[in-house]
Structure 1
Amino acid sequence: MPAPSSTHLVIIPSYNPGAQVADTVRAARAEWAPVWVVVDGSNDGSCETLQDLARDDAGLHVIVLPENRGKGAAVLEGIGQARAAGFTHALTMDSDGQHPTDLIADFMAASLARPQAMILGKPVFAADAPALRVNGRKVSNAWANLETLWMGIGDSLYGFRVYPIEPLLRIMHANRWMRRFDFDPEAAVRLCWAGVAPLNRAAPVRYLRREEGGVSHFRYLRDNALLTWMHTRLILGFLLRLPRLLVRKLAG
């Protein structure tokens, strides 16, 4: 097991993740310490599984939320407690086996080399990835790049990334949104506005079939409506910030 870091930790928000969660957490722990899992009101038995793992592993910490609040809210709880414990950066990843745990150390090294930046995973899709998911994200990516004047967000939706905790906390406390599925793209855009540079690194993504234990909470109409409302807010914020963003762009 790796030696514990005093500055960087892994935070895994988890809501009814299915049978993959134990393997995902074990794989993350094999690459990094500490790993914190935020159980977001799960009722599928995964909370008990994670707590059993944590009893025998000092590098694993489980935070349990009493009800489902959404991915962004789970991350906010995790990074708030992490800052109080002295951590400065958090790598976020999903609990369902989609994200590449073998790249955790690589992403953390990139963050240690550029601590003022956010390290964004740019997904590499397998041939069997759902076309709807692969192509649908292009719309969100186009909006995110417009809203930041093409500051370099490689993928707005991929949740495998390293955040500097302090600026992310400031942004989330200043905005009542960013608590559910819309967290990842809004965090990337608002951090760009705050001057946090994005650094992109390729990372494979797996879409597990149901028979492989895959679980998806994506709901096409609900979540696309959420993203539409999010980008509407961001476009309004972009227009208000446009003069400053243009000055920064021209100065760069």
Structure 2
Amino acid sequence: MPESRPVVLIPSYNTGPILPTTVEAALAMGVPVRVVIDGSTDGSADLLSPLLSHPRLQVIRLERNAGKGSAVLHGTREALKEGFTHVLCMDADGQHPADLIPRYFSCSAMYPEAAVFGRPVFDASAPALRVNGRKVSNFWANLETLGWGIDDSLFGMRLYPAKELVEVFESTFFARRFDFDPEVAVRLAWRGVPILNLPTPVRYLSREEGGVSQFRYLRDNALLTWMHTRLFLGFVLRLPWLALRGENPLLSLSPPAS
């Protein structure tokens, strides 16, 4: 029987003063936390200095910005070396609720073979353009996996089996930047990794609250368009096998979408 020994993994690029708040919230859950500084130039990494003596925290600094996916890959490889079996990725910008970390860990303990994906529950702070725009990526992700059970292809709070995640990364030269979340979701589904979806509140912080965003509408949507073009071609090649393998064995365990 597989086991689950998870760690929280927080990639960060120019997150500003919200970074230590996010890290402190995760540490308050009594879990190990690893932060990957992805070549930040805004001094935010230095704000973690008062926390570096914490026994459950390690900070990894990458010299150059290589993208979210690259930071997660680096952090996941280090986690495997430490003996962790799963990584729970959280964004550094305070959008994801640290108080749900125990629930993600609990799901992983019950179903260690699975990836646990957050299904975002938006409040009034969510920009309508972002909420509605992600529906396009969700449509394509579910088509490319024949409805394997990816409720949201772009949401960043997810718990991954670490070994399978690294293998997915090693199967492609892509998924290293903003395309990380949707591409690895599709490729994990292609590999037959069961997916559970966990409703998760998400909050978009205002600038006054310290909110930051690295999203660039034209650049990142162009990247997603190219990504789904590639994935659709991969889907066509895999279609006979995908049609014969059956459905996600944990599909019925995900709460129904409202």
Q: What TM-score do you get using the length of structure 2 for normalisation? A: 0.93
Of residues 55, 73, 79, the one that matches 1:76 is: 73
In the TM superposition, structure 1's runs of 4+ consecutive aligned residues that sit over 4 Å from their partners are none
Report 1:83-122 matches (<5 A): 83-122=80-119
Aligned-residue offset at 1:32: 3.7
Aligned-residue offset at 1:36: 0.1
Q: 1:127 to 1:250 in 2, by over 3 A?
A: closer
State the match for 1:174 in structure 2: 171
State the match for 2:252 in structure 1: none
State the match for 2:7 in structure 1: 9
CA distance in 1, matches of 2:247, 2:186: 19
Report 1:1-252 matches (<5 A): 7-54=5-52, 56-249=53-246
Uncovered stretches (5+) of structure 1, i.e. residues with no partner:
none
Q: What TM-score do you get using the length of structure 1 for normalisation? A: 0.95
CA distance in 2, matches of 1:38, 1:251: 32
Aligned-residue offset at 1:212: 1.2
Secondary structure of the residue that 2:204 maps to in structure 1?
coil
Q: How many residue pairs get matched?
A: 247
Contact 2:113 2:194 in 1 (8 A): yes
CA distance in 2, matches of 1:250, 1:45: 46
AA aligned to 2:62 is: L
CA distance in 2, matches of 1:188, 1:120: 9
CA distance in 2, matches of 1:201, 1:90: 16
Contact 1:9 1:34 in 2 (8 A): yes
Secondary structure of the residue that 1:12 maps to in structure 2?
strand
Contact 1:145 1:152 in 2 (8 A): yes
Uncovered stretches (5+) of structure 2, i.e. residues with no partner:
250-258
1:216-241 per-position Cα deviation (integer Å, ceiling 9, x unaligned): 11000000000011101110110010
Contact 1:11 1:78 in 2 (8 A): yes
1:79-135 per-position Cα deviation (integer Å, ceiling 9, x unaligned): 001111111100000011000111001011001100001000000000231000000
Mean CA deviation greater in 155-164 or 5-14: 5-14
Secondary structure of the residue that 1:52 maps to in structure 2?
helix
AA aligned to 1:108 is: F
Secondary structure of the residue that 2:28 maps to in structure 1?
helix
Contact 2:195 2:248 in 1 (8 A): no
